[in-house]
Amino acid sequence: MTNKIDPYNYMKGFGNHFTSEALKDALPKGQNTPQKCPYGLYAEQLSGTAFTVDRKNNQRSWLYRIRPSVCHQPFTKLVPKFHHITNKFGIDDVHHIPNQIRWSPFKLLPENNKKTSVETNFVHGLHTLAGAGDPTTKNGLAIHIYIANVNMDNTAFYNSDGDFLIVPQYGRLDITTEFGCLMVVPNEIVVIPRGIRYSINFPDGSSRGYVLEVFGNHFELPDLGPIGANGLANPRDFLTPVASFETKECDFTIINKYAGQLFVTQQDHSPFDVVAWYGNYVPYKYDLGKFNTINSVSFDHVDPSIFTVLTSKSAFPGTAIADFVIFPPRWAVQEHTFRPPYFHRNCMSEFMGLISGVYEAKAEGFLPGGASLHSHMTPHGPDSVTFKKASNEELKPVRVADGTMSFMFESSLMLGVTEWGMSNQVHIQHDYWEAWKDLKSHFDATKEV
Ligand SMILES: [Fe+2]
CATH code, domain carrying 367: 2.60.120.10
Q: Ligand 1 mean position to 380 CA, how many Å?
A: 6
Instruction: With respect to residue 300, please indicate whether it lies within any of the assigned structural domains.
Output: yes
Instruction: With respect to residue 306, please indicate whether it lies within any of the assigned structural domains.
Output: yes
Is the pLDDT at 407 greater than 60? The verdict is yes
CA 212 to CA 132: how far, in whole Å? 12
CA 348 to CA 414: how far, in whole Å? 7
DSSP string, 43-98: EEEEESS-TTS-TTT--EEEEEESS-TT-SPPPEEPPGGG-B-----STTTSB---
- Torsion of the alpha carbons at 227, 232, 236 and 242, rounded to the nearest 10: -150
Distances (CA, A) of 30 to 37, 41, 173: 12, 16, 36
Give me the pLDDT at residue 434, please: 93
Cite the annotated binding site for Fe cation by residue number. 344, 350, 380
Q: How far is CA 233 from the centre of its chain?
A: 15
Cβ atoms of residues 328 and 404 within 8 Å = no
Q: In the chain, what is the straight-line distance between the N-terminal and C-terminal CA atoms, in Å?
A: 56
Q: Ligand 1 mean position to 228 CA, how many Å?
A: 26
Closest CA to 244 of 277, 281, 286: 277
What pLDDT digit, counting tens, does each position of 108-157 carry?
Answer: 999 877 666 788 999 999 999 999 999 999 999 999 999 999 999 999 99
Cite the annotated binding site for homogentisate by residue number. 359, 380
Instruction: With respect to residue 199, please indicate whether it lies within any of the assigned structural domains.
Output: no
DSSP string, 139-208: EEEEEEEEEE-S--TTEEEEESS-EEEEEEEES-EEEEETTEEEEE-BTEEEEE-TT--EEEE-TTSSEE
> Three-class SS of residue 237?
helix
Give me the pLDDT at residue 448, please: 80
Is the pLDDT at 11 greater than 90? The verdict is yes
Cite the annotated binding site by residue number. 344, 350, 359, 380
Question: For all residues of the chain together, what is the average pLDDT?
Answer: 95
Annotated catalytic sites, by residue?
A: 301
Instruction: With respect to residue 301, please indicate whether it lies within any of the assigned structural domains.
Output: yes
| Contacting residues for 71 by C-beta, under 8 A, at least 6 apart | 267, 269
Give me the pLDDT at residue 116, please: 64
What pLDDT digit, counting tens, does each position of 337-360 carry?
Answer: 999 999 999 999 999 999 999 877
Instruction: With respect to residue 330, please indicate whether it lies within any of the assigned structural domains.
Output: yes
Closest CA to 407 of 352, 446, 369: 352
Give me the pLDDT at residue 38, please: 98
Lowest pLDDT segment from 3-17, 226-240, 295-309, 349-363? 349-363
What pLDDT digit, counting tens, does each position of 21-40 carry?
Answer: 999 999 999 999 999 999 99
Q: Ligand 1 mean position to 379 CA, how many Å?
A: 8
Q: Which residues surround ligand 1, an ion (CB under 5 A)?
A: 350
Instruction: With respect to residue 84, please indicate whether it lies within any of the assigned structural domains.
Output: no
Q: Ligand 1 mean position to 301 CA, how many Å?
A: 12
pTM of the model: 0.97
> Three-class SS of residue 426?
coil
Instruction: With respect to residue 361, please indicate whether it lies within any of the assigned structural domains.
Output: yes
Give me the pLDDT at residue 218, please: 98
At residue 120, what are phi and psi to the nearest 5 degrees? -135, 120
Mean pLDDT over 173-202 rounds to: 98
1 pLDDT tier (thresholds 50, 70, 90): very low
Give me the pLDDT at residue 310, please: 98
Instruction: With respect to residue 422, please indicate whether it lies within any of the assigned structural domains.
Output: yes
Residue type, 345: R
Q: Print the domain residue range for 319.
A: 291-436
Q: How many separate domains does the chain show? A: 1
DSSP string, 195-218: T--EEEE-TTSSEEEEEEEESSSP
